[in-house]
Amino acid sequence: MAKCQGVSHEEFWHCAEEVDRARSEQLKVTLREYFEKEPTLNVSSDSCEEEEEEQVPLKNEGQVRADIRSFVCLHHDRNFTGRAIARIFHGISSPCYPAQVWGRDRRYWRSHLDVDFNQLRRLAVEELVRIRM
């Protein structure tokens, strides 16, 4: 993602009038390199999943975990997955959790946009396992 910052503009109107050919070509090269890169496999694991990038430790991990627990306890009648909780905390609508319904509860909808989606999903799965034990 850091490579894309070098070819992007601060505001959209900086590039709305004319095409910056140099930045356009650099973006194409960056995207081509990304998609042509061979995925690295995690050989220490039994599964063949792609190795996740190093996650930056969360400053507010305790608060995120507390929010997940309170959300699950508040909606104890539902059977959530870690992915569903991460989607709600990021404000991503789905057929099961539409924005028109779940967006009304401002405590949780889009409450953790600062946390990486996959990291949030992982934390939610860990908390769900703890709650169900």
Q: How far apart are CA 51 and CA 53, in angstroms?
A: 7
Q: Which domain holds residue 43?
A: 1-51
Residues 89 and 30 grouped into a single domain? no
Q: Which residues, including other chains, have CB under 8 Å from residue 35's CB and lie 6 or more apart?
A: none
Instruction: Report pTM.
Output: 0.60
Alpha carbons 91 and 120: distance in angstroms, whole number: 13
Are 120 and 66 members of one domain? yes
Query: What length is written for the chain?
Result: 133
- Evaluate whether residue 39 is within a structural domain: yes
- Please indicate, yes or no, whether residues 83 and 109 belong to a single structural domain of this protein: yes
> Could you tell me if 123 and 74 lie in one domain?
yes
Q: What is the pLDDT along the chain (133 residues), one digit of tens a residue?
A: 566 677 777 777 777 778 788 888 888 888 888 888 877 665 555 544 444 555 667 788 999 999 999 999 999 899 999 999 999 999 999 999 999 998 887 889 999 988 999 999 999 999 999 988 8
Say yes or no: 76 and 116 in one domain: yes
Task: Quickly list DSSP for 86-109.
Answer: HHHHHT---SSS-HHHHTT-TTTT
111 domain-assigned: yes
Q: Are 43 and 6 in the same domain?
A: yes
